[in-house]
Amino acid sequence: MTPRRPRNPISEALDPVSVRVHLSDRTRNAFADLEAAVHFSDCFDVGIRMLVKDFATGTDASVEDVIVSLPSIAEETFAHIAAVGDERARAAWRALCEALPEQGFTLTRERVRAGHSRSS
């Protein structure tokens, strides 16, 4: 019988839906500033604005949620800034870009209890 190799958690694939992103206060504040800047904008998609608001309030998000949302948020933000020259939105985006790489979030793995699936 061959001995079992020890499990290497680093080499295991991670499910981007089960890894949760917890935004820092600084990052949530930057999202809140962006949401406030674009709140009444006619050229910022309402659905994307709701995503920004969710991130600002600390709504639980998966890695997949964040990775899929950020390009759309950037696109809407840049279109808004180009359309109206909104310096508040520009400053909020800059603050967000500074906050995220500087301990702007933590990641945790969603735990599934034995005998339960994620959908139950």
C-alpha 46/C-alpha 80 separation (Å) is: 12
Predicted pLDDT at 119: 47
| pLDDT average per 10 residues of sequence, the chain (120 residues) | 59 80 96 97 95 94 94 97 97 96 88 50
Predicted pLDDT at 16: 86
User: Are the C-beta atoms of residues 31 and 51 closer than 8 Å to each other?
Assistant: no
Predicted pLDDT at 15: 84
- For 28-92, list the strands marked E by DSSP: 61-62
Predicted pLDDT at 76: 97
Structure pTM?
Answer: 0.80
The answer to whether the Cα torsion of 11, 12, 15, 18 is positive or negative is negative
Give 47's contacts (C-beta < 8 A, 6+ positions apart): none
Predicted pLDDT at 120: 42
